[in-house]
Amino acid sequence: MPWIDACATDDIETEDLIRFDHAGRTFAIYRSPEDTFFCTDGLCTHEHVHLEDGLVQDFEIECPKHNATFDYRTGEALRAPACVNLKTYKTRVENGRVQIDI
Amino acid sequence: MTKRDYSLLGDDARRAVDSGLAAAEWYHTDVPRKTMKALMTRSDQPAIRDTIILFGAMIALAGIGIALWPSWWSAPFWLAYGTLYGSAMDSRWHECSHGTAFKTRWMNDALYQIASFCMMRNATTWRWSHARHHSETYIVGRDPEIAVMRPPAFIKLVLNFVGVFDVAAALPRMVYNAFVGVHPEEKTFIPETEWPKVVRTARIYVAIYAATIGLAAWLGSLLPLMVIGLPRLYGAWHHVMTGLLQHGGLADNVVDHRLNSRTVIMNPISRFIYWNMNYHVEHHMFPMVPYHALPQLHETIKHDLPAANRSIAEAFAEMWPALVRQLRYEDFFIKRVLPDTAKPYREDFHAALAAE
Ligand code: FES
């Protein structure tokens, strides 16, 4: 798959995320406290609520609905009620743009 | 008027799924992302302070209670201790189940385990049932935590002020979980991978209660049970009182927490015991905001909410007659007026659902 242009690096605050929709799918793109970028599926694996309103703390994203927590670098589900890991995608930064490999 | 079926395996449960109500999008007040992020920020400090006060007070009160036992002079100390055990632990259980009490996860989990035990709630089961309560608040047949069903069972309500029905349901379930396994109703909301944990937790609880009862028998005294177990009964009143106010007399089968939840301004002692859950509309709308930030959240969104009740007494005066009316008219509920600054309720959507 080609790299998909998602957003400018400045579109995401440090320690935060944005939603990115592409070709009928929805993703979450994160900027870590170290200003590195990560991408996961946009919907929580518990009840498919979008993570865009969730809370990023360090390298974790907390779902806004029931506070399930995932490591957004690996997608690992860290806290109930989510048991299924989030899918992750590779990212890279080119000329101030975040690109994702889906 | 249709009879409500609160069973998670019943007709209303099926109807909620079929009509789309069970998966509906809930109403949220718009709050700028930056403000929301600041409100959601976690910290350890407020909960560490409150937990030290809580456990410090419990140890002191139980100590005095034991020292004065069996004199009646010990009674007020037991009452205060019991209220912290049987009521403050309810709100700790609740906040920690959301993972919002502390920033540090192990602190949350530790307090969650202790509070679950005090409240006789299986720590695993209830984490899942509470998730369902948030997805489908007061949707008949889907929410396993509906405190006041319609028509209201008043005897049950009143007796629960001393925890009778809660404990009468919790103990057999604990024994069932420990010796038989996960109950079929629990299987509707707990994923299978978690079932062994439910059983293990139940066995630990049974062991602790058996040891306490054994010690009481050996000493020939109620005293061990005054410290562990009984306070779940004699100290339950405060959490039942505040818990009834959360949704009592308000709408069910809606997807707007402004219609089914109640915010009540309370005195500081009740707020300590209840850990700010008196801001209940705010909590349901934004469960990621920790308890210590709820007063601030209230200020941020109150323009979009019905006016809060100004005291526990005022809220009861509003709720109680509504519950009495529901005895005769099951469909009755209090519809609270929104201020002019608020976005209106989605009448069309709720009406369409009601007509299903
Ligand atoms: S939908 Fe994400 S935790 Fe439930």
Collapse the DSSP code of A50 into the 3-class scheme (helix H, G, I; strand E, B; otherwise coil) and give the result: strand
A29: which strand partners?
A: A18, A39
Q: pLDDT (tens digit, 9 = 90+) per residue, B20-62?
A: 555 567 889 999 999 999 999 999 999 999 999 999 999 999 9
The per-residue pLDDT for B126 is 86
Closest in A54, A67, A83 to B98, CB measured: A67
A66 Cβ below 6 A of ligand 1? yes
The per-residue pLDDT for B134 is 74
3-state per-residue secondary structure call for chain B: CCCCCCCCCCHHHHHHHHCCHHHCCCCCCCCCHHHHHHHHCCCCHHHHHHHHHHHHHHHHHHHHHHHHCCCHHHHHHHHHHHHHHHHHHHHHHHHHHCCCCCCCHHHHHHHHHHHHHHCCCCHHHHHHHHHHHHHCCCCCCCCCCCCCCCCCCHHHHHHHHHCHHHHHHHHHHHHHHHHCCCCCCHHHCCCHHHHHHHHHHHHHHHHHHHHHHHHHHHHCCCHHHHHCCCHHHHCCHHHHHHHHHHHCCCCCCCCCHHHHCCEECCCHHHHHHHCCCCEHHHHHHCCCCCHHHHHHHHHHHHHHCCCCECCHHHHHHHHHHHHHHHHHCCCCCCCCCCCCCCCCCCHHHHHHHHHC
Residue B223 lies in a domain: yes
Distance CA B18, CA B21 (A): 8
Residue B126 lies in a domain: yes
Quote the mean pLDDT of chain B: 90
Residue B4 lies in a domain: no
A81 Cβ below 6 A of ligand 1? yes
Please give the radius of gyration of chain B, using alpha carbons only, rounded to the nearest integer.
Answer: 21
H-only helix segments in A1-102: none
Query: Which residues of chain A does B287 touch, with a Cβ-Cβ cutoff of 8 Å?
Result: 64-67
pLDDT above 80 for B146: no
pLDDT above 90 for B353: no
Measured in angstroms, how far is the CA atom of residue B78 from the centroid of ligand 1? 40
DSSP letter, residue A43: B
Is residue B178 within 8 Å of B124, Cβ to Cβ? no
The per-residue pLDDT for B254 is 84
**CATH class belonging to A4-93:** mainly beta
Mean pLDDT of A33-50: 94
The per-residue pLDDT for B356 is 44
pLDDT above 50 for B274: yes
Q: Are A65 and B135 in contact (CB < 8 Å)?
A: yes
- Name the residue with higher pLDDT: B131 or A6: A6
pLDDT above 80 for B11: no
Cis peptide upstream of residue B295 (ω within 30 degrees of 0) = no
Residue B195 lies in a domain: yes
Q: Are A67 and B99 in contact (CB < 8 Å)?
A: yes
Burial A19-50 (b: 16+ CB within 10 A, else e): ebeeeeeebbbbbbeeeebbbbbbbbbbbebb
Q: Are B42 and A81 in contact (CB < 8 Å)?
A: no
Question: Considering its fold, how many domains does chain B have in total?
Answer: 1
Share of chain B above pLDDT 90, in %: 69
The per-residue pLDDT for B239 is 96
Mean pLDDT of A61-85: 93
A15, closest residue in chain B (CA to CA): B37
The sign of the CA dihedral B23, B29, B30, B31 is negative
Say how far residue A45 (Cα) sits from the centre of its chain. 13
Domain of residue B327, residue span: 11-354
Q: How far is A2 from chain B (nearest CA, A)?
A: 32
pLDDT above 60 for B215: yes
Residue B5 lies in a domain: no
A43 Cβ below 6 A of ligand 1? no
Residue B6 lies in a domain: no
AA identity, residue B215: L
pLDDT above 70 for B348: no
Measured in angstroms, how far is the CA atom of residue B23 from the centroid of ligand 1? 12
Q: How far is A42 from chain B (nearest CA, A)?
A: 16
pLDDT above 90 for A61: yes
A63 Cβ below 6 A of ligand 1? yes
Measured in angstroms, how far is the CA atom of residue B308 from the centroid of ligand 1? 28
pLDDT above 60 for B352: no
Q: pLDDT (tens digit, 9 = 90+) per residue, B286-305?
A: 999 999 999 999 999 999 99
| B104-108, B189-193, B256-260, range with the lowest pLDDT | B189-193
The per-residue pLDDT for B22 is 57
Inter-chain Cβ pairs, chain A and chain B, closer than 8 A: 44
Mean pLDDT of B205-224: 98
